[in-house]
Amino acid sequence: MIPVTGFVGETVAVLGLGRSGLSAARALRAGGAEVIAWDDGEAGRAAAEAEGFVLRDLSKQGALDAVTWLVTSPGIPHLYPAPHPAIANALRAGVPVDNDIGLFFRSLGQGTWSEMEQPPRVVAITGSNGKSTTSALLHHILTEAGRPAELAGNIGRGVLDLDPPEDGAVIVLELSSYQTELARSLTPDVAVFTNLSPDHLDRHYGMGGYFAAKRRLFAEGGPDRAVIGVDDLEGLFLAGQLAEGAADDRVIRISNTQKLGGPGWTVTARKGFLSEMRKGRQVASIDLRKIAGLPGAHNHQNACAAYAAARALGLGPRDIEKGLHNYPGLPHRSQVIAQRDGLTFVNDSKATNADAAAQALAAFPKVRWICGGLQKEGGLDVLRPHLGHVVKAYVIGREAAAFGLQLGDVPQDICGDMETAVVRASAEAQPGEVVLLAPAAASFDQYDSFERRGAHFTALVLGETPQAE
């Protein structure tokens, strides 16, 4: 645990008692704060009460009297589409609102850091797609190279549940827009921006608000180095804002669609080859084509981001290459589940928006595509250039027929549920084809998470008898 500093003897309120909320409450108490807590769900309140925390409904009038700080969980809206009543109370009372990420950065660096030869460093990774893979991949590279490393944030452990880092350690954080938009302290040593595509637009009141939430990671603390994907306009703009000139190597630009020229520091992946350029000269090259854990151009972009972050931390190209080659991949992200009778079954349940699904489709030439669910903002237009890879679509979800209509003349089967889709796709697929779950939609119409959806697909492919919900 990393105790939260700066609140000794003060009363701090915690709203939302899931993983991050309970972790924050414990860390605040360990740091000497008096903690009151609330969750709108009975299970969260019971969990907190079992650990001895005082409960108080923070949405009621006067509930924040004598409270000096309010810590909220990332999923609770604080501005759009409307603030939670407890947060609205805090805003009116002038009580600062923060989250566990802000507490982490304000509390890190205490204790014995001044005695360390090499103080620990923090790499924070954000973006719409690929941030989980990039985070896990960087953590894997560091571990394989013998560097002590911890993985936390939107993946792995809660940030305040981490062990205090040792001399020379690296903390790798995956941060969502929900986490970056509210944290009052954001001071990573290295910050990574993978890409941007429409997501969570109701929460951020449009693409501008969504980008602004991501941009805070780079603007608030000023990282020593920034790794920026420049294949999107927003990334190109962000890199331009951060760099003092074309040769400024505090910004490492990455791309998997174009050759990046100039005197700056760049890492690109084209036709399956990663290339690092610095001051106009090639520093290293790695063949990514046969790395099983990183299939497709979208994963080659993730490899560029992790490689650039590792280089910013001082690792050599050969050490990084070793980590890339033995990376096992993450569950639910282009995960090969089985190969039999000439067929390959791939679980990409994490493809919860159209951009992520488009990247998955682009990775395979002949696809039996299982898609559908709770559709997000932005529509499916971004998928159209890749629909030629689809032999047939098998549409699931409560609104499967409406989803299927958007696919136009793509051959399709309105299946409704996962079991029907897997049975029909498996029966009709031919050798050399891929049965791919890449829904281009959220899971919540039929599952409580993309993990449960992916696990259901996996169990069906492997011949198990799972529960769908």
Question: What residues are designated binding site for ATP?
Answer: 127-133
Whether residue 81 has a cis bond before it, omega within 30° of 0: yes
295 Cβ neighbours under 8 A, 6+ residues apart: 334, 336, 363
CB environment 309-337: b (16+ within 10 A), e (fewer):
bbbbbebebebbbebbbebebbebbbbeb
124 bridge partner residues:
173, 191
CA distance 39 to 206: 28
Cβ–Cβ < 8 Å for 368, 389? no
70 bridge partner residues:
13, 97
Q: In what order do the strands lie in the sheet with 149-153?
A: 149-153, 170-174, 121-126, 190-193, 225-229, 251-255, 265-270, 273-278, 281-287
The secondary element (H helix, E strand) that includes residue 89 is helix 85-93
- Count Cβ atoms below 10 Å from residue 364 Cβ, excluding itself: 22
- For residue 191, give the nearest of 330, 313, 329 by alpha carbon: 313
CB environment 246-275: b (16+ within 10 A), e (fewer):
eeeeebbbbbbeeeeeeebbbbbbeeeebb
- For residue 128, give the nearest of 377, 407, 456, 346 by alpha carbon: 377
In angstroms, the Cα distances linking 74 to 2, 200, 315 are 19, 13, 33
Task: List the structure tokens of 162.
Answer: 């981490």
In angstroms, the Cα distances linking 91 to 38, 69, 79, 171, 178 are 17, 11, 10, 32, 18
Residues annotated within a binding site: 127-133
- For residue 101, give the nearest of 74, 135, 134, 132 by alpha carbon: 74
Q: Using alpha carbons only, give the angle 236, 238, 244 rounded to the nearest 5 degrees.
A: 100
Q: Find tokens 């259901």 and name the residue.
A: 456
Cβ–Cβ < 8 Å for 135, 170? no
